Structure 1
Amino acid sequence: MRLIIPPDIGGDRLNISKKIGFIGAGKVGFSLGRYLVENHEGVMGYYSKNPDSAKEAAEFTDTIVYKEVEHIVEDCDILFLTVPDGIITKVWEEMKLLSIEGKIICHCSGSYASTIFSEISQCKAFGYSIHPLFAIHSKRNSYKELSQALFTIEGSSTYLNYFEQMFQRLGNQVQIIQAHDKAKYHAAAVFMSNFVVALASCGQNLLQQCGFEKEQALSALAPLMKNNVEHIIENGVISSLTGPVERNDVETIRKHLQVLEGEEKEIYKRLSTILIKVGMEKNAQLNYEEMENELA
């Protein structure tokens, strides 16, 4: 999706380097701030209601620690609210009472849209959600890998081009999305991140029931998991499907269902039903009706 710069916003204004501040100093604030500093963007510093965390983040990024939120708002053009999702609204309600005309207010939530900044147009400010499609595990190390992340951006049309160009300049892929798609977008990320952990836990538990030690079970499954993910990335979902569903092996599916119990059995049935749809695309000549009945 290509965007047209609104007529009242000139190209020069979009290209002017802007001063960036962070309100909140957790893993995302640490990581994004250091990433921007490493790429010579104008990060000014951090404010947090926990002064120690702001001080630590400022030292980590070689920037300023702000003791008053009013001062960081005054100094910066762009303010990232890198606070937990559950308190974005609370922080915003406090910021609305400050002088924020012309300010660019961003959060990094995957699930919330910029519409969480209620009445922002009345404040004559501009709101955005900017989210790296990447699991930030460490506040001191994740910044090293952020260059690999795709950033999704959603919000006011005024500065969409500015942020798109900024992250592209850093080498990131960028996707502009719509506010009403944020929840579905975040659900997709959960499928490919958190749910993978759930499936690994299921596989590990089943091997433990077969006599494997816990760490041995995970070690045994690791090459299978890595190889499968690599094939999906390189060859796509359909080409990567193997196993009993792909070859329409009803008897093996039946054996699996006989030994599985409870939620693991239900997960197996639900995921196998999805795999049948993939199998139909890969093997149009096969008839999966008997397998569908077995899984019903």
Structure 2
Amino acid sequence: MVSINERRADIRKSDSISPGRGGDYLKIGFIGAGKVGVSLGMHILNCSQDETTNVIGYYDKSSSAAREAADLTKTKQYSNLMQLAEDSEMIFVTVSDDAISSVWENLKELPIEEKFVCHCSGSLTSATFSGINQYDAYGYSIHPLFAVSDKLTSYKKLKQAIFTIEGEQSNLHIVTEFIKKLGNDVVQIREEDKVRYHAAAVFGSNFVVGLADISIRMMMDCGFSYSEALRALTPLMSENMNRVLQAGSEASLTGPVERNDVQTVKKHKKALNEEERELYEVLSRHLVSIAKRKNKDKDYSEMEEIFK
């Protein structure tokens, strides 16, 4: 039997990775068979290029969820947490954030020596696995910066995602290399930055959905049907987002704030309800700061006064 340290050496030395289908490989087990667990498992199986890496199966408190995940990934359904822990060398705890600690309380009583224990929370750190060092295991938070919305299809685009990693330092390079060999870029993040990083992701993802919904509802107030509003906004939103991603926020900014159109902004404020106006003002204050960086010769003092 090859030891885990020898397997780690294999991973470090491997120039190419493809999914293992037998023999000596890094055995990866999942606790939690929801969207994230299934998507990550499928991603590993489809994108791994290392013959020393393989997903072995899923455990979930819902046996039907574990069975579905095992069927989708053609791996094993585990009905016993102890057995999964014994069989795995890397364990992903892919449950909801508020359940990770309780899973850890059970997991730490099992044989986890020399194993990698990971969760995929965006906001929680590896410290969630409290006292993991005393169990001679290695704790990590590994977060794909990606909106996993469907367990059947999201894995197909996971290769586009950047993964952030935080955790035990001495073996961090091994986990980093494991993710890189899936074809993903990796950014190592400090424990103290994790919550701010996750909040940044909320601004770039969830808030975009919220703003789109407000825009659609306002269009509907003006007589558009829902589908008409979507069609009308699609080229505007798509072009704007593509421009931001390609050229940055300063080069992409247009509109009344950027061109210093004070009168139009005042009219906008009068046309909005209280909640819309509050959001409009908060966002516009930030747009002014972008506009000032973009147009250093323009005087935005009157515009700034509107939002004080």
Q: Aligning the two structures, in what range does the TM-score lie when normalised by the shorter sequence?
A: over 0.9
Following the alignment from structure 2 to structure 1, what is the Cα–Cα distance between the partners of residues 92 and 35? Answer: 13
Residue of structure 2 equivalent to 1:223: 235
- SS of the residue corresponding to residue 46 of structure 1 reads strand
- SS of the residue corresponding to residue 158 of structure 1 reads coil
Is the Cα–Cα contact under 8 Å of residues 23 and 80 in structure 1 kept in the other structure?
Answer: yes
Residue 124 of structure 1 pairs with residue 143 of structure 2: no
Residue 179 of structure 1 pairs with residue 179 of structure 2: no
- SS of the residue corresponding to residue 131 of structure 1 reads strand
Gaps of 5+ in 2: 14-24
Match of 1:199, as an amino acid? L
Match of 2:136, as an amino acid? K
Residue of structure 2 equivalent to 1:45: 57
Q: Where do residues 1-296 of structure 1 align in structure 2 (5 Å cutoff)?
A: 12=9, 15=12, 17-40=25-48, 41-296=53-308
TM-score, structure 2 normalization: 0.91
Cα deviation 1:157-181 (Å, max 9, x = unaligned): 1221112112222221110001111
Match of 1:15, as an amino acid? R
Is the Cα–Cα contact under 8 Å of residues 106 and 128 in structure 1 kept in the other structure?
Answer: yes
Match of 2:135, as an amino acid? C
Is the Cα–Cα contact under 8 Å of residues 9 and 158 in structure 1 kept in the other structure?
Answer: no
Which 4+ runs in 1 deviate beyond 3 A?
8-11
Is the Cα–Cα contact under 8 Å of residues 14 and 159 in structure 1 kept in the other structure?
Answer: no
Following the alignment from structure 2 to structure 1, what is the Cα–Cα distance between the partners of residues 158 and 189? Answer: 20
TM-score, structure 1 normalization: 0.94
Is the Cα–Cα contact under 8 Å of residues 132 and 152 in structure 1 kept in the other structure?
Answer: yes
Cα deviation 1:105-143 (Å, max 9, x = unaligned): 000000100001111111111100000000001001000
- SS of the residue corresponding to residue 170 of structure 2 reads helix
Following the alignment from structure 2 to structure 1, what is the Cα–Cα distance between the partners of residues 222 and 64? Answer: 48
Distance 1:208 1:239, change over 3 A: same
1:39 Cα deviation after fit: 2.5
1:13 Cα deviation after fit: 6.6
Is the Cα–Cα contact under 8 Å of residues 251 and 294 in structure 2 kept in the other structure?
Answer: yes
1:14 Cα deviation after fit: 5.6
Cα deviation 1:45-73 (Å, max 9, x = unaligned): 11111111111101111111111000110
Identity over aligned residues, as a percent?
47
Match of 1:121, as an amino acid? N
Gaps of 5+ in 1: 1-7
Of stretches 97-106 and 80-89 in structure 1, the one that deviates more from structure 2 is: 97-106
Following the alignment from structure 2 to structure 1, what is the Cα–Cα distance between the partners of residues 153 and 241? Answer: 23
